[in-house]
Structure 1
Amino acid sequence: MRFTEEQRELRSAVRAVLARHPDATAWRPLTRQIGVAALAVPEEFGGAGGGALEVHVVMEELGRTLAPVPYLGSAVLATQALLASGDGGELLPALAEGTATGALAWAEDGSWDPAATRTKARRGADGTWRLTGTKDHVLDGADADVLLVAARTDAGVSLFQVAVDGAGLRREPLTAMDTSRPQARVLLDHAEARLIGTDGDGGRVLRHVHDLACTALAAEQVGAAERCLEVTVAYATERVQFGRPIGSFQAVKHRLADAYVLVESARSAALGAATAAAQGAPELSRYAAVAKSACSEAFSVVAGEMIQLHGGIGITWEHDAHRYFKRAHGSSQLLGSPAWHRARLAADLGLTDDGRGSGSAAA
């Protein structure tokens, strides 16, 4: 597919901001000057009325620089959860402006399956909801202004807002391998909460948000893998060994060619998922699972090749290779491992582990 002129201009604008602000200070110009947090928010809530393809463009660029900004956690996870719930009108404008950031506390015991939710929500005689449980891998959770929490009620999994300064809530920053993606643990001990959306509808909301988040993360992985390849190719043309640039050796050419194929194949998978999301395709879950699996593995391989082909400099702290390798490892497990996504894809298609249909015809 080809991006529109507006989408190409968006890419150029985001890249220019990230070139000037290669750290967390990029968030203010990205939101105030370009409006990245508002891209996928309807105009009625102060957004730009865009969709998944615009998010794809931004995420690719953020992946190229490993920018430590709260876009995935706030503009994708939290914002899309509010939109899917149909009950985020009072919270969305600030998130769209970027004056507030949001976090979605969801995963428990390393699982992103809504069915694994064990955090309890109980409603008292006075009508007040109170939550008890622990959430892990909460993106930008330690500093978020808006905290959304998935918890289980008698009606099923539901979505709640918990005041970040309320009693019974503790947020602990986590020391992750990839320090450019801040994560936190959220501990709730009878924390007062407000129901978002319909009681028991949280499972549907989270499954939809999960598909959109996997689609966005796949775009980030493509951008990061592409940057790894660019840097490695440039080094291979400059590094001289035995009187020749190492890129002129056939073995190195083959490895770079294989990396290129991986990047382009991953790009196709990510764009396929973004297009499905933009069109509201009913098969989005399948596209998202394919994209997350393929892009995770492609990024991991290309980041590894970046270290290998840089030789000694590739394993030093002075070079950026280790940062991309850590991001590749972390993003591969975030929102579910490649193996987990393949398993859910197989289940959705009605296939057994050996790839055959599970029905009687396959037997």
Structure 2
Amino acid sequence: MTDLLYSETEDDLRSAVRSLLADRAGTQVLLGRIETGDPYVPGLWKSLAGEIGAAGLLVPEKLGGQGASHREAAVVLEELGRAVTPVPYLTGAVVAAETLLALDTDSAPVAELLAALAGGRTVAVLAVPLSAGPGTEPPTTDTVTGVADAAAADVLLVPRADGLYAVPAAEVRIEPLTPLDLTRPLSAVDASGAAGTRIADAATARAAIGRGLLAGAGLLASEQLGLAEWCLEETVRHTRDRYQFNRPVGSFQALKHRMAQLWLEVVNARAVARAAADALAVGSPDAALTVAVAQAYCSKVAVHAAEECVQLHGGIGMTWEHPAHLALKRAKSDQIALGSAGAHQDAIAALVGLPAPA
């Protein structure tokens, strides 16, 4: 039976990440960074990736990583989701790392890039649209739009018709876009004219990118879980402290029912997100199905939790000073990231042999 409980090691990792984010990337810091147009907090990635070692959790020790698993990476993403933290963790330490791990790791360029990524010295980002999910064909042109965290990348993994290339970001034209979620910057990437280093042939690249996107989609559910948990906790706290008619507004039956329903959804989201992380960690043959179920469910829960957070905070929830709008924008952005809920539902139907009606 799958053990969905958190281990002592995972709890310790959670405490370390939460403490770092509270100290270095609190709400006021994040709101201030967004106003500058550059959401990345200086030095935060170095601390998270290098000092805590979060960037190398999926990378084996022999390649310079921590030799942990997707379960530990999921815990990090839960905390990043709670704080809506702008760091290239999902795109770099998960999607790019998993893509590289599916290649020939005895190859010097791949091994060196993985070691640099695991040590937090290099940020690698796969040059595909944020909306690309498992099973989608990777682009084979040098111009791609909607690439998340390209602005923070040192190396871009660029799919081309003849394979996958590692291209230094300094040789690539990266044009910032204006996304809904300002905490996860999107860019248009133009790698034409940049040679790069070929690290995989076309067939190997296609399979590796599929593995990277599958891991990303599965662990995105943990980010969505963390975001939903924060929204619920913040809403309960506010409705407990906010008084109307000499009573806490949270004591009103209608609001109790709404928060109770949301609590049930968050509990279910935790179960499917943990199941997806565990399936990826053990290489389960049902990993693709478990990931699709987690994404189809968690993306909706995160949006619902964020909407309730905004609404049940009343007027203050509509202001720029309160972080509820950051959670809502991240939830809406995540709803189409790495495959929409509808795409994952189609995947579930295909995987279990229940095609949609013609």
Normalising by structure 1, we get a TM-score of 0.88
* Secondary structure of residue in 1 paired with 2:67: coil
Match of residue 299 from structure 2? 296
Match of residue 170 from structure 2? 165
1:86 aligned to which of 101, 104, 108: 104
Asked whether the equivalents of residues 70 and 277 of structure 2 are also in contact (C-alpha less than 8 Å), the reply is yes
Give the drift of 1:352: 2.2
Higher helix share: 2
Distance in 2 separating the partners of 1:259 and 1:220: 17
Match of residue 12 from structure 1? 15
Structure 1 runs of 4+ off > 3 angstroms?
A: 110-118
Structure of larger gyration radius = 1
Give the drift of 1:86: 2.2
After superposition, the Cα gap between the structure-2 partners of 1:221 and 1:272, relative to the gap in structure 1 and judged at 3 Å, is: same
Letter in 2 for 1:90: E
1:95 aligned to which of 117, 121, 126: 117
* Secondary structure of residue in 1 paired with 2:191: strand
* Secondary structure of residue in 1 paired with 2:111: coil
Match of residue 36 from structure 1? 54
Percent of paired sites with the same residue = 42
* Secondary structure of residue in 1 paired with 2:170: coil
Match status 1:60 vs 2:78: yes
Asked whether the equivalents of residues 104 and 147 of structure 1 are also in contact (C-alpha less than 8 Å), the reply is yes
Give the drift of 1:117: 3.6
Give the drift of 1:65: 0.4
* Secondary structure of residue in 2 paired with 1:318: coil
Asked whether the equivalents of residues 114 and 203 of structure 1 are also in contact (C-alpha less than 8 Å), the reply is no
Give the drift of 1:115: 5.0
Residue deviations 1:13-54 (CA, integer Å, cap 9, x gap): 111111101152421221232111011110111111001000
Distance in 2 separating the partners of 1:147 and 1:48: 23
Match of residue 237 from structure 1? 240
Give the drift of 1:188: 2.9
Match of residue 123 from structure 1? none
Give the drift of 1:5: 1.3
Distance in 2 separating the partners of 1:115 and 1:33: 35
Match status 1:147 vs 2:169: no
Matches within 5 A, 1:1-363: 1-22=4-25, 23=30, 24=41, 25-87=43-105, 88-107=110-129, 110-112=131-133, 115-120=136-141, 133-153=142-162, 158-166=163-171, 169-354=172-357
Asked whether the equivalents of residues 97 and 212 of structure 2 are also in contact (C-alpha less than 8 Å), the reply is no
Q: Which moved more, 1:18-27 or 1:214-223?
A: 18-27
Distance in 2 separating the partners of 1:102 and 1:34: 18
Asked whether the equivalents of residues 115 and 203 of structure 1 are also in contact (C-alpha less than 8 Å), the reply is no
* Secondary structure of residue in 1 paired with 2:121: coil
Distance in 1 separating the partners of 2:146 and 2:138: 14
Distance in 1 separating the partners of 2:129 and 2:79: 26
Residue deviations 1:106-163 (CA, integer Å, cap 9, x gap): 239x54466544424xxxxxxxxxxxx321222211231111012223xxxx321123
Give the drift of 1:190: 3.9
Asked whether the equivalents of residues 40 and 48 of structure 1 are also in contact (C-alpha less than 8 Å), the reply is yes
* Secondary structure of residue in 1 paired with 2:117: helix
* Secondary structure of residue in 2 paired with 1:165: helix
Match of residue 127 from structure 1? none
The gaps in structure 2 that reach 5 residues or longer are 31-40
What's the RMSD between the two structures over aligned residues? 1.7
Distance in 1 separating the partners of 2:80 and 2:138: 30
Distance in 2 separating the partners of 1:54 and 1:250: 38
Asked whether the equivalents of residues 106 and 112 of structure 1 are also in contact (C-alpha less than 8 Å), the reply is no
Distance in 1 separating the partners of 2:322 and 2:64: 41
Q: Per chain length, whose mean CA-contact separation is higher, i.e. which structure has more relative contact order (CA < 8 Å, sep 6+)?
A: 2
Letter in 2 for 1:105: A
